[in-house]
Amino acid sequence: MVFFFLLPAFLIAAVAEYSLRKIPNDYSFKNQWLTENSRDVEILALGASTILYDVDPAYFSSKGFNAAHFSQSLKYDHFIYNKYIDRMPSLEYVIMGIDFWSPFGDMENSPEWWRVKYYNIHYGGNFYKWQGKYNYELYFRDISTFKRAAGGFLRLLGLKEVTNVAVKENGQGLHYTLKNRADNWDNGELDASRHNALITEAAQDSLIGQNRQYIEEIIRKSAERGIKVLLINVPLYVSYRDTQNSEFLKQQRDFCTYFAKEYDNVQYFDFSDDPRFSDEDFYDASHLNEKGTKKFTLLLDSIMEHQSSPYMTKNLLVND
C-alpha cells in the first residue's frame, strides 16, 4: 500500500527535478559555451558579480569570455579554470576579480550558499555529493520552486518559452544599465557594512590560506602555459569605499600584492578609487553600468595590449 502511494510521489518529484534542471540559466549557458568554444578563448574573466557586470569582452581586442557568476568565490573560480584550462590552447590572460570579501570566506558560509548546487548540476561538479541542499533543486520544496518546475515541464513539452539566462553571448551580465538604475542607487554604506559583517563572521586563517592556494594553483598552471594573470579590484563608489573596514581592506590588498611580488606572470591593479569613474558610470555603489563597463573594459584591454599605460605608473602594485 505504501509503495503505491510513494511511487507516484517519487515520479512527480523526479519529473519536477528534471524539469527544473532543463530550464536554461547562466550556469548551463556558460558551461555549454565553454565546452564548445574554449579553444578560441584568449582572455578568460573570473570572479563574482563585479566582474560579471563590469567586464564586457566585446571591448577586448582579443577573443574573451566572462565566466563570472553572482557571489562566485575563489573556490569556484578555481573549479571553472581547472575544468577548461586544458581545452584553452589560445589563452593568454586570466582576469580575476578580487572583491573586498574574496580572501576571507567562501560561498558555503554566505547567504548565497544555495548557488553551490548550480556548479554540481550544470558544470558537472562533485561538491558535497551527499548533501541534498547542494545537489537538488527540489531541496527547497516551496511554492515558487514547484511553479518553476511546472514552467520547466511546459517548456519540455514545447508549450512555453522559459529561460533564466541573463547574460550576453560573451558571458557578460545584462540588466545593470543606466536605464535600469534605481533612483536611490547609492547603496554603498549599506552594502559595505553588510560585507564588513560577513567578513567579521567568516574570516578564518584556514579559509584565507585555502583561498590563497586556489589562486596560487591558477597562477602556477598559467605560468607553465605562458599565461598572464591580472588580479583586479574593480571601481567602487565613494560611499562604499568610505564604509569599508580599514583593516580588512589592508588584508585584501596585501593578499593581492603578495602574488604580484612572488610571481612574474601576475599583475595587480587596484581601480577601486580611480578618479576616471564618476556617478554616471555606476549602476550601484559596487557595480558599473554599461557606460562604466565600456570604459573599464577598454582600460583593461589597453593594459593587456600594450603592457603600459599612464595608470600603471601610478597604481600598479607588481614586483615593487
Measured at the alpha carbon of residue 58, what is the angle toward residues 56 and 64, in degrees to the nearest 5? 80
Q: What is the pTM of this model?
A: 0.92
* Domains (range + CATH), the chain: 24-115+172-315 (3.40.50.1110)
pLDDT tens for each residue of the chain, 320 residues long: 555 566 777 788 899 899 999 999 999 999 999 999 999 999 999 999 999 999 999 999 999 999 999 999 999 999 999 999 999 999 999 999 999 999 998 999 899 999 999 999 999 999 999 999 999 999 887 888 889 989 998 998 999 999 999 999 999 999 999 999 999 999 999 999 999 999 998 877 779 999 999 999 999 999 999 999 999 999 999 999 999 999 999 999 999 999 999 999 999 999 999 999 999 999 999 999 999 999 999 999 999 998 644 433 334 443 33
Q: List beta partners, residue 282.
A: 288
Decide: residue 254, CB within 10 A, 0-12 exposed, 13-18 middle, 19+ buried.
exposed
Tell me how far apart the alpha carbons of residues 34 and 56 are, in angstroms, rounded to a whole number: 16
CB 62 within 8 A of CB 90: no
**CA nearest 171: which of 282, 298, 293, 283?**
293
Tell me the CB-side half-sphere exposure of residue 127, using CA atoms within 13 A: 23
DSSP codes joined into one string, 150-164: HHHHHHHTTS----B
What is the residue type of 136? Y
Measured at the alpha carbon of residue 79, what is the angle toward residues 81 and 300, in degrees to the nearest 5? 40
Tell me how far apart the alpha carbons of residues 211 and 112 are, in angstroms, rounded to a whole number: 18
Q: What's CA 260's distance to the chain center, in Å?
A: 21
CB 306 within 8 A of CB 199: no
DSSP codes joined into one string, 133-156: GGT-GGGS--HHHHHHHHHHHHHH
